[in-house]
Amino acid sequence: MDLKYGYIEGMGRFFFQLSLIDVFDRLVIDYHIGLSATAKDACAVLINSLNKRGLKPGMELPIIRTDNGPQFTAKIFEETCWKWKLTHERIPVKSPNMNAYIESFHSILEDECYSRNEFTSFTDAYRVISEYMDYYNNRRRHGSIGYMAPAKYYEAVMGSQITGEKMVA
């Protein structure tokens, strides 16, 4: 999970995108786009992601890896992880390579969406990015998962049509 900044040219201000990616299938399970990005927003993205995958407290849950941004070091985020019995790993300062999957996604997002658009308003940015996120999850092919889109790969693995490879991030 990580935070990315974008710029709205028409408003002369930044916006924020919090995204949570599953390293297994490269699906961005949930994200938040807003003029701010608080620890409460990060908690919402985390909980929405867990719910979308049908996970509940007490089940075997994934490890959540973040940097040391204020959203992720906040008491409310730590309490949410504790409540769900999640392991939260924070990478060492100045080591984005230790959170490579989300950093790679944000690089792709920058190249394929943010830098190709001059946003005139927050509504414009939200619309364009939401359309891109649909493309990324449902149609963009990834060589690391057999040239399938993340959602299609997840469906194929969950439907036992293919066997996913066990990953260690």
* pLDDT digits 0-9 by tens, 87-100: 999 999 988 899 99
3-class DSSP state of 114: helix
**What type of residue is 33?**
I
Q: How confident is the model at residue 167 (pLDDT cuts 50, 70, 90)?
A: low
What pLDDT is recorded for position 165? Answer: 64
What is the band of 26 on the pLDDT scale with cuts at 50, 70, 90? very high
Strand order in the sheet with 28-34: 2-8, 13-21, 28-34
Predicted TM-score of the model (pTM): 0.92
The values of phi and psi at residue 34, to 5°, are: -160, 170
Contacts of 42 (CB under 8 A, 6+ apart): 1, 18, 32, 71, 72, 74, 77
From the CA atom positions of the chain, what is the Rg in Å?
A: 16
Instruction: Return the pLDDT at 164.
Output: 66
